[in-house]
Copies of this chain bind each other. A is one copy, B any other.
Amino acid sequence: MQAAVIGVGYWGPNLIRNFLGNNHIDKVHVYDLNPARLEFIKKKFPEINIVKTEDDIFKLKEIEIVVIAVPVDQHFALAKKALDAGKHIWVEKPYTSTSEQARTLNKLAEEKGLNIFVDHTFIYTGAVRKMKELIDSKEIGDILYFDSVRINLGLFQSDVNVIWDLAPHDLSIMFYVLNKKPIAVVANGIANFYDYENVAHISVYFENNCFAHFHVNWTSPVKIRRMLVGGTKKMLLFDDMENSEKIKVYDSGIEIKEKEGIYNALVQYRIGDMYSPKLIATEALTLGVEEFISSIKERRKPLTNGDDGLKVVQILEAAEVSIKEKGKLIAIQN
């Protein structure tokens, strides 16, 4: 199989390295608007083939996979062209600029029997896979709340706010591990420097009295990447800034003891042991590429497909409307 990468910014070299490293990929073609960047990449990866125009990629029959790693507002047009040309596509997060675009692409791929892989990389990390395993095994119990913080002093994106930049990671993890339907979204925050918000808080209301919250911030002096999942049996912490012990499982929780009628219900807490499971250390992107290629060979949808991309975009879209109206409640259509 041959793959083509369009756009080689910050993430591009990782994509090229992993597609080159996959046994099923014979050749990797690369295109970028910036000739200097292309030259730099060619020096780093001499075995790649540099193409002159985007259209060369769509025309070349040998190319089965097109990797789209350009700014989000160009995702739809490129993805559509690639699908129209009969290519399977890999799209960086966030999938599209609108849920309408996502639906159009998903439908097109469905009709053409092509695969869409949305690069929700975190789903392929050892930590998130372990979270999923722990929740699916019912060890945590029913999920009460999901709380995520992703803040640091970082590059402002010139085309989107901090929600579109950082929250896709956390939203994709939430959907993967929770497997519940969102009902409504509220977002609050501030744009201190220009039109795009640099601080945002997103609340997501779920069916069955479950609640999630996301704090994203480009202007924090400290770097925090942390998630809490509270369950009826146990509680879970994912701290991605830890060198080891990224996942901790607390045998702690809340117990309700009824004493003569509901009015005397007593809420107590219980603290027990904690353990930190060993995690698989394989690079997430390597596993992502494997999953994409396997899904094509096995003619099935990949783990992180267009439907997953759509779910995340729906929340981003709703959050953007909400934050502009200071926390207006926006319903989510399932």
Taking beta carbons and an 8 Å cutoff, which residues of A are in contact with B?
Answer: 46-47, 144-145, 147, 153-156, 184, 186, 188-194, 198-199, 201, 203, 205, 209-211, 213, 215, 217-223, 228, 230, 235-237, 241, 243-245, 248, 250-254, 256, 265, 267-269, 271-278, 326-329
Whole-angstrom CA separation of A244 from B221 in the bound complex = 11
A211 to chain B, nearest CB (A): 4
Contacts of A272 in B (CB 8 A): 278
Copies of the polypeptide in the assembly: 4
Whole-angstrom CA separation of A268 from B218 in the bound complex = 11
The reply to whether B190 and A188 contact each other, CB–CB distance below 8 Å, is no
Chain A contact residues, majority secondary structure: strand
A316 to chain B, nearest CB (A): 17
Which of B213, B223, B278, B328 interacts with A188 by CB under 8 Å? B213
Contacts of A277 in B (CB 8 A): 273
Report 9 cross-chain contacts, Cβ distance below 8 Å, ordered by A residue.
Answer: A46-B47, A147-B215, A153-B271, A154-B269, A184-B326, A190-B210, A192-B230, A245-B274, A273-B275
The reply to whether B201 and A189 contact each other, CB–CB distance below 8 Å, is no
The reply to whether B188 and A203 contact each other, CB–CB distance below 8 Å, is yes
Whole-angstrom CA separation of A208 from B198 in the bound complex = 16
